[in-house]
Amino acid sequence: MLTSSKEIDLRYPGLPGLLLIALLAGLGLSCSEPPQQQHKTQFMALGTLVTVSLWGVDDDDAAEAVMAVEDELNRVQKTWHAWQPGTLTEINAALAAGETIDADPATLALLDKARDLAHRSGQLFDPAIGKLIALWGFQSDDRPDAPPPAKADIERLLANLPDMNDLVITGQTLSSTNRDLQLDLGGFAKGFAVDQAIERLRDLDIDNAIVNAGGDLRAIGAHGGRPWRIGIRDPQSSGVIATVDTKGDESVFTSGNYERFFTWDGVRYHHIIDPRTGYPATGTVSATVIHRDASTADAAATALLIAGKDKWRRVARKMGVKQVMLIDSDMHVYMTPEMEKRVYFRTGTPPRVTVSEL
């Protein structure tokens, strides 16, 4: 311990003065350092507009990263598109013919995850209803101008509607106990693709980024000294109804009845089909989920939109998502307390809000 017996060295009185100057010079130099860069690039992929935001990456690395993301998204699209030739179409063809088909481990893992999510959603999110989706014309990006399917056709499918539990995975082989089973990963594929893209970015040592595919995104890291800020769009207009600051690694996914739809005879039919009725889900305008991985967030948002204001809490609980926001047809907002803490509503008058635990 220091006592007064230690000599105080006063031999170099001028030195502190010099160091003071050095300190100030150092300050001056560091102030003029150029700030970290943000890169924001857009391109078409997954049938929609994709935006990749990067922070703290130099120009060359950013270009390389965006290309990697684009390649990855295209790869996923090619593999999992239910319409264009690829792995999924092969599987569907085999299953429709009542045959078995071998699949690689990655595919099996994906389908297994989809099956698990479907089960936990009470089969509200269910990729096995591809045939029903196709009946509505939503399996492809371009639905031809046509009326909604006939009630009889829907009911016929509904009578024997397959679900993911009918998909059998034995070792490396896929088979189905229901000939009507057709896989459509629409409510899940975007999330999966975004997850893959983020992994590619991480492989390139990029830890601060947002991959936004047609409005659904996953954000990792932050925007330098402040968090990434996500705007949540108003279902009724093009304005932003609320903002959320992300923390660490989070996905923000919204399923809405305004995303893909067609109108016939003045009635709007949207693309999220309720497996229980065979018709587009009613009562809810949008469901927003914040969760770490995008595939879960995607599936949950789909399931919760279908679940509606009566069942959403139960489904959210079973799917393990805690930050949920539902907007029903009366523009009444339902949220979990965890979600309420994070969302700031920018509209002047706050909308009607009900906050409830799961």
CB neighbour class for 184 (10 Å; exposed up to 12, middle 13-18, buried from 19): buried
Min CB(284)–other proteins separation in Å: 15
Min CB(257)–other proteins separation in Å: 12
Query: Residue 249: helix, strand or coil by DSSP?
Result: strand
Nearest CB to other proteins, comparing residues 266 and 348: 348
Rounded Cα distance between 166 and 164, Å, is 5
Min CB(32)–other proteins separation in Å: 10
Min CB(203)–other proteins separation in Å: 22
Contact set with other proteins (CB under 8 A): 1-4, 6-13, 15-17, 19-20, 22-24, 26-27, 29-31, 33, 35, 51, 53, 210, 212, 215-217, 219, 222-233, 240, 243-245, 252-254, 256, 259, 288, 341-342, 344, 346
Nearest CB to other proteins, comparing residues 116 and 234: 234
Nearest CB to other proteins, comparing residues 26 and 147: 26
Nearest CB to other proteins, comparing residues 8 and 267: 8
Min CB(104)–other proteins separation in Å: 32
Nearest CB to other proteins, comparing residues 182 and 208: 208
C-alpha distances in Å from residue 33, one per residue of 27, 29, 54, 128, 226: 10, 7, 20, 55, 18
| Other CB atoms within 10 Å distance of the CB of residue 230 | 20
Rounded Cα distance between 240 and 74, Å, is 29
Rounded Cα distance between 133 and 168, Å, is 21
Rounded Cα distance between 73 and 82, Å, is 15
